[in-house]
Amino acid sequence: MKKILVATEKPFAKAAIDEIRPIVEAAGYELALLEKYTEKAQLLDAVKDAQALIVRSDKVTREVVEAASELKIVVRAGAGFDNLDLEACTEKGIVAMNTPGQNSNAVGELVLGMMVFMARNGFNGSAGTELRGKKLGIHAYGNVGQYVAEIAKGFGMELYAFDPFVAKETIEAAGITPVETVEELYKTCHYISLHIPANAQTKQSINYALLSSMPQGAALVNTARKEVIHEEEILKVMADRPDFKYLSDIAPDCKAEFEANFEGRFFFTPKKMGAQTAEANINAGAAAARQIIGFLENGDETFKVNK
Ligand code: 3PG
């Protein structure tokens, strides 16, 4: 029987597997699970006879692709696909997809949750600040950025967005002020919420010049990827600006420096938590399963991300 493998170092909620299984089995495929694996060798072994693969942030490297001799399709159940070696997939004729939008609300809720947590000094009993009336800059107005904006409106925040790939009118229609340059966004906003992908253009692009231009009481919220931050330079901003705070969904490589020098001014999740809700797991996992069946049975290539 043809096998669809779910390989997740950070597993889906059980409810998501309960949703994925009937989709897979109704189409006549076998569902195989490799959860909480700790060694690359386990993944290399599990992919050997799989026709399809569902992953989260799991690294699908060239080595994995080469070990998967039966593989026709890999779906990243989520938005960012920087964990897939697209070139290796293309060379082997493997279709790579993501499931855009499926976990966006979960990430949006985490953004505002972390902002409230930090504005109230980690709920330590001291007087904090409020979000109402503060300026929030959405750096990239994609699926997650849109959810962040909707939720932030409920908090009474003043919204700005920068996204060169989205029409100004679309941003305006959502009650958000579009800005022309990334510099203007950072100069204007107390809070910046990052929603850019990690790629050759964006890696280390969030630098000293941008961050140090933010108004007093500034905070950067990163639920995108740690790689987009210039770590040496954010450390310099933290040192120069005692008012500056950094909140990130997963710790930067320089976490030890934050812990040693900037107590109370940062918060890092221990594991990537943005999409860690039952609802997001169900949405993204089931979408991945449906996309796989749609491709294997009908050649549907919607959401393909490689050439
Ligand atoms: C995404 O790109 O969809 C998020 O970063 C979620 O990643 P995860 O599935 O590893 O939690």
Tens of pLDDT, residue by residue over 17-27, are: 999 999 999 99
Q: Which two tokens stand for residue 134?
A: 């503060």
Cα–Cα distance measured from residue 175 to residue 238, given in angstroms and rounded to the nearest whole number: 32
User: How does residue 10 score in pLDDT terms, banded at 50, 70 and 90?
Assistant: very high
1 pLDDT above the threshold of 90 = no
User: How does residue 86 score in pLDDT terms, banded at 50, 70 and 90?
Assistant: very high
Q: State if residue 79 touches ligand 1 by the CB under 6 angstroms criterion.
A: yes
Beta bridge partners of 137: 160, 192
Q: Which residues of 6-35 are buried (b: 16+ CB within 10 A; e: fewer)?
A: bbbbebbbeebbebbbebbeebebebbbbe
Q: State if residue 281 touches ligand 1 by the CB under 6 angstroms criterion.
A: no
Give residue 283 CA to ligand 1 midpoint distance, Å: 12
User: How does residue 111 score in pLDDT terms, banded at 50, 70 and 90?
Assistant: very high
Question: Which domains, ranges and CATH numbers included, belong to the chain?
Answer: 3-102+277-298 (3.40.50.720), 104-268 (3.40.50.720)
Confidence (pTM): 0.96
Which atom of ligand 1 has the smallest separation from the CA of 58? 10
Q: Whose CA is nearest to atom 6 of ligand 1?
A: 275
- Taking every pair of C-alpha atoms in the chain, what is the biggest distance, in angstroms? 61
Give residue 12 CA to ligand 1 midpoint distance, Å: 11
Task: State what percent of residues in the chain have pLDDT above 90.
Answer: 100
Q: State if residue 103 touches ligand 1 by the CB under 6 angstroms criterion.
A: yes
